Amino acid sequence: MVSVSIFYRKTLKFIFCLFIVQNTIAQEVSFLFLGDIMGHGPQIKAAWDDSLKRYNYDEVFQPVEQLISSVDFAIANLEVTLAGPPYKGYPQFSSPDDLAVACKNSGIDVLVTANNHSCDRGSNGIIKTVKVLDSLGIQHTGTFKNSQERDSLNLLVLEKKGIKVGLLNYTYGTNGIKFSSPTYVNLLDSTLIKKDIDNAHKQNLDKLIVFVHWGAEYKDLPNSYQKKYNQFLKDQGVDMVIGAHPHVVQPMLYEKQKGNNKEFLTVYSLGNFVSNQRDIRKDGGAVFRCSYKKNKKVKLKDKEFILTWVYKFSLSNKMHYQVLPCAHKKYNQSYFSSKADYKQMQNYITHARVLFKRENKGVSEGRPIPKIHMDKHEPVEIHATVPPKIISKVNFLKQAKTKKRKR
């Protein structure tokens, strides 16, 4: 009887300790950053579903849906407007709202909207894009319906599990098309940015991230303009800079500052997440996965990239697009309709790996699968798992106790 009581107490202590460990692990917030979501003419045409009589982009994201939905916050650059018909691609983009619906369905939580195509359809395009994202419950920053909303919504605060992260978004320009009142587009202006960052630091944030549209298109390495602005953002106390616009991947650099152990990370360009650009280097991109873990101080964890490649293929007299986590073993030669497609993907993988091996600092390649299969919503309760040996021993003692009573 005494031994049973002691064993039960030890079992309860074990379960309590397991609960504490799991609760500690929960103080970690995961992020996935995606590059340019483009909407070229052939993509729009391919998205039309004749059976549904509407546009449907879900198949584009399906191969990476599990990866996207496995993190707490997935953030991408929406490089089109959702301005309504006529739907067109380059040079002045307007995609169907269904593109944003597919982003939402895939697990994307945040779309940054400040880029060189923000003003492609004028003020109406900016306003309509914001309204569509609001209607879908997709968080966003970068462009605004008016200056008042810019003042109140510019800093997007992402908070979960006791960790509070701020996000700002800017672009180098809007292809010479100026935004007009009442709309507002965040431009790279050091005076404005300094003011925004100073205000952000007053919000009791754990970390501050800036998503920037910058750089020279189709260049593998950042230019002096990017490096200058990156240093400026670092000097202002920004913790992470994520870049887009070159449409090819560029280096990722992590550094821990001497003396205060402060961390700073830069992803110069994530490349294309999805587009119709088919030249080598432009036909793929990388997603950046990381997490912030809170243990007295909030620190970066799991800094890694995962390569993606856009598979464009014909089926039943119709073009299709899929974003593949291309290093996954599933996407071997047998997956593709032609050897040429597989070879093109392998060429992209080789180029990206060579570049990142030579230029990256502190950021390595991660496995193209979710680290933890989890729902975006936290569980209502935590179920501790008791090892089978303990369960067997408890059952044995219960049976022995029952037999003793029968005697």
Measured CA to CA, the distance from residue 388 to residue 391 in angstroms comes to: 5
- Domain assignment of residue 358, given as a range: 27-377
Residue 15 within any structural domain of the chain: no
Which sign, positive or negative, has the C-alpha torsion 137, 142, 146, 150? positive
pLDDT(7) > 60:
no
Measured CA to CA, the distance from residue 94 to residue 40 in angstroms comes to: 9
Considering only residues 5 and 254, tell me which one the structure prediction assigns the higher pLDDT: 254
Residue 390 within any structural domain of the chain: no
- Could you report the per-residue pLDDT of 333-362, keeping only the tens digit for each? 999 999 999 999 999 999 999 999 999 999
pLDDT(23) > 70:
no
Considering only residues 57 and 297, tell me which one the structure prediction assigns the higher pLDDT: 57
Question: What percent of the chain has a predicted confidence (pLDDT) above 70?
Answer: 85
pLDDT(396) > 80:
no
Check if the beta carbon of residue 303 is closer than 8 Å to that of residue 270: no
Average pLDDT over residues 210-217: 98
List the one residue out of 107, 216, 208, 110 whose CA is nearest residue 167.
208
pLDDT band at 114 (very low <50, low <70, confident <90, very high): very high
List the one residue out of 77, 106, 104, 107 whose CA is nearest residue 93.
77
Task: Output the pLDDT for position 377.
Answer: 42
Residue 7 within any structural domain of the chain: no
pLDDT(3) > 60:
no
Provide CB contacts within 8 A for 80, sequence distance 6+.
37, 38, 39, 93, 94, 95, 99, 117, 120
- Could you report the per-residue pLDDT of 156-212, keeping only the tens digit for each? 999 999 999 999 999 999 999 999 999 999 999 999 999 999 999 999 999 999 999
How many domains is the chain built from?
1
List the one residue out of 217, 190, 228 whose CA is nearest residue 271.
217
Average pLDDT over residues 58-76: 97
CATH of the domain at 136: 3.60.21.10
Average pLDDT over residues 38-54: 96
pLDDT(290) > 60:
yes
Check if the beta carbon of residue 284 is closer than 8 Å to that of residue 348: yes
Task: Output the pLDDT for position 129.
Answer: 98
Residue 144 within any structural domain of the chain: yes
Task: Output the pLDDT for position 390.
Answer: 40
Measured CA to CA, the distance from residue 363 to residue 290 in angstroms comes to: 10
Task: Output the pLDDT for position 258.
Answer: 76
pLDDT-wise least confident of 5-19, 99-113, 271-285: 5-19
pLDDT(13) > 70:
no
Considering only residues 139 and 3, tell me which one the structure prediction assigns the higher pLDDT: 139
Residue 386 within any structural domain of the chain: no
Task: Output the pLDDT for position 298.
Answer: 93
Residue 387 within any structural domain of the chain: no
Task: Output the pLDDT for position 308.
Answer: 98
Residue 22 within any structural domain of the chain: no
Task: Output the pLDDT for position 261.
Answer: 73
Residue 383 within any structural domain of the chain: no
pLDDT(266) > 60:
yes
List the one residue out of 58, 63, 93, 62 whose CA is nearest residue 79.
93
